[in-house]
Amino acid sequence: MTKLIAITGITGGGSVANTFFQTPGYTIRGVTRNTESAAAKAWAAKGVEIVKADFDDVESLKRAFQGANVIFGVTDFWNIFGDPRSKELKKPDQELVEYCYEVELRHGKNLADAAASTASTLDRYIFSSMAHATQSSGGKFSKIYHMDSKAEAVTYAQSLPELKDKFSQIQAPIYYQIALEWGLPVEPTKQPDGTYRMKVPGVAHKPIPLGNVGTDLGPNVKALVEQAPPNTNLFAVGEYLSWNDYLRIFCETQGVKYGGVDELTYDEINELIPGGLGHEFGCNVLFAFEFGYEGKEAGIVGPGKYGIKMSSFREYCEKADFSALLSNGAEVGGFGLSPSASPMSTSSALAYLGVEFDVASGLAPALAASFSLFFFPLSALGSFMLGEGPRGLAGCYNITWHPSLSRRERNQLRNQRGLTIWLTGLSASGKSTVATALEQHLLHLGLAAYRLDGDNVRFGLNKDLGFSETDRNENIRRISEVAKLFADASTIAITSFISPYRADRDLARELHAKTTQDGDEPIPFVEVFVDVPLEVAEQRDPKGLYKKARAGEIKDFTGISAPYEEPVNAEITIKTHENTVEECVAQITNWLIAKGYVKSEVKN
């Protein structure tokens, strides 16, 4: 039997409509405020039924949804913000963003009420949502209006008896197209030296959730309709990438030179975006950094749970046409939309919030221009922006460093040079196995060595840390400090942690290079890349973690849903899938001897 799916916002995006248009057994009804728009007429020409409805008129929505088996609903906070009437309709002392929250929540409730009116025919109501910032943060972020309005619309829909076991929600990531197709100020620009650079607010090395929503959102909605049980919260993320890797992959696929990424500060963003937007999005960034873009609600699943193949950023870059961007020439600096930016592209850019917008509703040009400045990594800014200072430093500014033996003197007295051997690689690459064997080998040679890994660090020093990005960074920072202390005591410290981010490993290296006394020598830092292909690591998978990550049961798993940034200039590279553990240990030991860090005549 043919099913009827009603899609709101059909003229603002095509992924959901295209997916069901190409799927046998479905008839599409497009819901829009302007049935005379070019986009509405284009869908009508394909045989799609186009009906008129207004989110402020629940009865019009009920008529539009009548007889539907599936409903895909979205709301639009930023169109409300850009509507000149909103300033007139809000209370005199009310913030505009608070008023927009109230209207969007009302729209979300109207959609839910209209969907509930079709209970006799309805199989599934899918709503495009965001995390509830207030609840997920325990009240720390209580005024991120554009998030909470959608999340509270979800709560309302879930409270309606008619929608019991008929409701699910979907969250979209940031679009791959954000910096490449929409003429935004973050797009790569050609420099006088021929390289391409990007300007991005926030930190360039930290990963953000991205995806090709224009092609992949539809299959995810389809999975919610056909595969997932009701009450599913699906985060349709394609890939986690840092802006550094984003630009690097773009340059590689386009055959141009990578120049690097310039970071913009939080203060610059607030200066550029006054009137509530700076606060709204600044808090959004800080929330995402601390609590995750998709929030902390239990049971959130990813596309892998339903076997959905998501497009990689590299695949997107290889297929897209960037001739207009690459022909712009060396235009360096400046903010605002590029001359090629169009109203359609700006509206599409707004869709990173997780919805497909009705272009017919439009946006005020000034809002569109200012809005374009806010497409930045949501995991980019930390609590230091709020003036909290680095973790653990409160009240410690009165400490004075007291010199003792120099490193050289200590090494001479112990007849051994302290250093850190930092093993990095994917989970199941063999880091811990090699580290354990290396520690034993060095001890048998008569050298003081100590291994730091998850067992003796996570259950002791770092037992207060979880696995959020903030805690993972703090975990690596503490390990770096402890390894340095071991090495400073003329011991060979061996660490075996995934440590996926180059920036964190670089900070560890810089920490070891610092000296505390005049004439002191830096501590050698030896990065060992345990280079194993992802498919080999997955085949090993001794704890079943990759399987769970592929199924969407583990979020932010390195190599699957979170990035691993391979070392660029590691001192040593070992391949445990090609060599035995003994051969890998010998390779590391021979390198240490060749560099003079370990004496060849040490006791066997």
pLDDT digits (tens, 9 = 90+) for 435-456: 999 999 999 888 999 999 876 7
CA atoms of 452 and 499, how far apart (whole Å):
13
Please report, for residues 230, 257, 477, the alpha-carbon distance to residue 308 in angstroms, rounded to integers and kept in the order given: 18, 33, 36
Give the CATH number for residue 104.
3.40.50.720
The structure's pTM equals: 0.58
Same domain, 418 and 280: no
pLDDT surpassing 80 at residue 349: no
Same domain, 316 and 425: no
Same domain, 445 and 313: no
Same domain, 322 and 415: no
Domain's final residue, options 285, 304, 326: 326
- Amino acid 329: pLDDT: 53
Same domain, 18 and 109: yes
Residue 207 included in any domain: yes
Residue 274 included in any domain: yes
Instruction: Quote the domain boundaries for residue 482.
Output: 407-595
Report the domain count for the chain.
2
Residue 200 included in any domain: yes
Q: Establish whether 427 is a catalytic residue.
A: no
Residue 351 included in any domain: no
Domain's final residue, options 326, 343, 360: 326
Same domain, 161 and 300: yes
- Amino acid 285: pLDDT: 65
- Amino acid 108: pLDDT: 97
The mean pLDDT of 267-275, rounded to a whole number, is: 64
pLDDT surpassing 60 at residue 376: no
* Sign of the torsion formed by the C-alpha atoms of 133, 136, 141 and 143: positive
475 falls in which pLDDT band (50, 70, 90)?
confident
Same domain, 79 and 193: yes
What element of type H or E holds 85?
helix 84-89
Tokens of 336: 């605002």
The mean pLDDT of 304-310, rounded to a whole number, is: 88
The dihedrals phi and psi of 317, each to the nearest 5 degrees, come to -65, -35
Domain's final residue, options 326, 353, 374: 326
Same domain, 161 and 287: yes
Contact call for residues 206 and 255 (beta carbons, < 8 A): no
Residue 396 included in any domain: no
Residue 438 included in any domain: yes
Mind listing the pLDDT tens digit for each residue in 315-330?
Answer: 999 999 988 888 865 4
Give the CATH number for residue 419.
3.40.50.300
Same domain, 294 and 436: no
Same domain, 317 and 431: no
pLDDT surpassing 70 at residue 365: no
* Selected catalytic residue, list 15, 372, 432, 499: 499
Same domain, 322 and 412: no
Contact call for residues 357 and 9 (beta carbons, < 8 A): yes
Residue 347 included in any domain: no
* Sign of the torsion formed by the C-alpha atoms of 55, 61, 62 and 63: positive
pLDDT surpassing 60 at residue 209: yes
Q: What percent of the chain lies above the pLDDT cut of 70?
A: 80
pLDDT surpassing 90 at residue 118: yes
Same domain, 433 and 298: no
- Amino acid 271: pLDDT: 66
Residue 334 included in any domain: no
- Class of residue 541 by CB neighbours under 10 A (exposed 0-12, middle 13-18, buried 19+): middle
- Amino acid 74: pLDDT: 92
